[in-house]
Amino acid sequence: MPEELRHQAIVSANHTSHPAPTVLQGLRVLELGQVLAAPFAGAIFADLGAEVLKIERVQGGDDARRMGAPFRHGDALAFHIFNRGKQSIALDLKSDTGRSAFEALAAQADILVHNLRPGVAAEMGLDGPTLCARHPRLIYCEISAFGHTGPMAQRPGYEPLVQAYSGLSSTNGGPADPPIRIGASVCDQGSGMWAVIGALSLLQQRQRTGRGGVVQTSLLETALVWNAQKTDAWLNQGQLPVRHASGHPGFVPYEAFDASDGPFLICCGNDRLFAKLAHELGQDRWTTDARFATNQARLQHKDALFAELCPLLRQRPRGEWMTRFEAVGVPCSPILSVSETMVEPQVRSLEMVLPVPGEDFTLTGLPLSFDGVRSALTQGAPRLGQHNAAHGIAPPAAD
């Protein structure tokens, strides 16, 4: 069955023709990216129609090419995901020839984005202030692990380290769980998003002033923003977060429950929705019970409510509860696996899974539509140094 579901998801990606992206057409972006944060920023620019030149090491290129088993053309799937639509130029930035070629590219670029190890750009004279002094219109985006200032500014870092250090892991999971990493790379990819937002903001400013500038963001700053609801509660109210697994600290009931055949979520975000839930369960008395009548009361008497609610929900299958609750407007959802999600009619109708031109596989597109239309992917990920010649640069020497 999983293979059948996967086939359905792949087939559904090919039934609509999507237009080529043009939103950022005419914009040139240089990317000095490794693995994820800066490459994700570059992928966003490319998906929106910008020309993205990925500058890679001559020997081996981006480490993401080897971040997993070979998928296509000797490169790992992760590399294809985050580098579609780009051109690859292999340069030795420690050589005079390589730096000269890079300067020529920078002179024609609108935006540069990198996540080089702290200190490396400065060692090569490619830090923001220095490069922008030579190219005043350039918008320079720097992504680091721990930020551009402070005692840890020069420290490299990875997603799980930053999730752990920022407190993000400590707020994830259930009450009895150890701190748990969030499965998605929310700090890496979030930092890439912030870099794009910052770059486009400075691009707007450049239209007025004629000058670019330096955008700085980091995985740590991104993690702190994602966790701000928790940290601000501690700073302002002295409240440390309680982990709720699938639940919510401010609403009851608002989490996963077990039906007779599987789990599903119920989200009662106000007392009106709770009253509908109670009525559908034949428990109208809950709305007049002082312990349960209001959300604030339910927060105080959650265990007592759940002692009654949970056994009721276990009596019938999930599909029946879903049908009944949706009919009266109670927000609910089955808890689906990845394979189940990707063949859901709603997910398929969004057409986010897009064919890669010239390839035999699909990738997930950006979560953006313009005038109701999602843009196509323009091409797959490049081979190392594939576009050197197109920019008048000698091809990289063979290993």
Q: Token pair for residue 257? A: 């429950």
Looking at every residue in the chain, the average pLDDT score rounds to: 93
**Residue whose pair of structure tokens reads 């020309």 in the numeric block:** 51
Residue 365 pLDDT: 95
Give me the helix-helix angle, 219-226 and 186-209, nearest 10°: 100
Query: Which whole-number Å values give the CA distances from 180 to 154, 160, 220, in the listed order?
Result: 26, 9, 17
CB-CB contact of 255 with 264 (8 Å): no
d(CA 25, CA 48): 8
Determine the average pLDDT of the residues in 121-141.
96
CB-CB contact of 312 with 286 (8 Å): no
Determine the average pLDDT of the residues in 50-62.
96
Determine the average pLDDT of the residues in 169-193.
92
Higher-scoring residue by pLDDT: 17, 54: 54
Residue 33 pLDDT: 95
Work out the percent of the chain whose per-residue pLDDT is above 70: 95
Residue 122 pLDDT: 94
pLDDT at 30 exceeding the cut of 60: yes
pLDDT at 20 exceeding the cut of 80: yes
Q: Token pair for residue 78? A: 């992760």
What is the model's pTM? 0.91
Determine the average pLDDT of the residues in 105-129.
96
Query: Which whole-number Å values give the CA distances from 361 to 79, 172, 364, in the listed order?
Result: 14, 33, 11
Q: What is the pLDDT of residues 352-396, one digit of tens each?
A: 999 999 999 999 999 999 999 998 999 999 999 999 999 999 887
d(CA 270, CA 256): 17
CB-CB contact of 325 with 315 (8 Å): no
Work out the percent of the chain whose per-residue pLDDT is above 90: 86
CB-CB contact of 159 with 165 (8 Å): no
pLDDT at 21 exceeding the cut of 90: no
d(CA 174, CA 338): 21
Query: Which whole-number Å values give the CA distances from 146 to 42, 199, 218, in the listed order?
Result: 21, 20, 6
Q: What is the pLDDT of residues 6-16, one digit of tens each?
A: 666 665 555 56
Pairing mode of beta strands 28-32, 111-114 = parallel
Task: Confirm whether 248 is a catalytic residue.
Answer: yes
Report which listed range, 7-16, 301-310, 337-346, is most confident. Answer: 301-310
Nearest-CA neighbor of 33 among 359, 382, 353, 358? 382
Q: How confident is the model at residue 398 (pLDDT cuts 50, 70, 90)?
A: low
Q: List the catalytic residue out of 18, 135, 244, 248.
A: 248
Q: What is the pLDDT of residues 290-301, one digit of tens each?
A: 999 999 999 999
pLDDT at 1 exceeding the cut of 60: no
Residue 76 pLDDT: 96
**Residue whose pair of structure tokens reads 């959650």 in the numeric block:** 302
d(CA 140, CA 114): 8
Helices (H), 267-360: 271-280, 295-300, 302-313, 318-328, 338-341, 345-350
DSSP characters for 313-332?
HTTS-HHHHHHHHHHHT--E
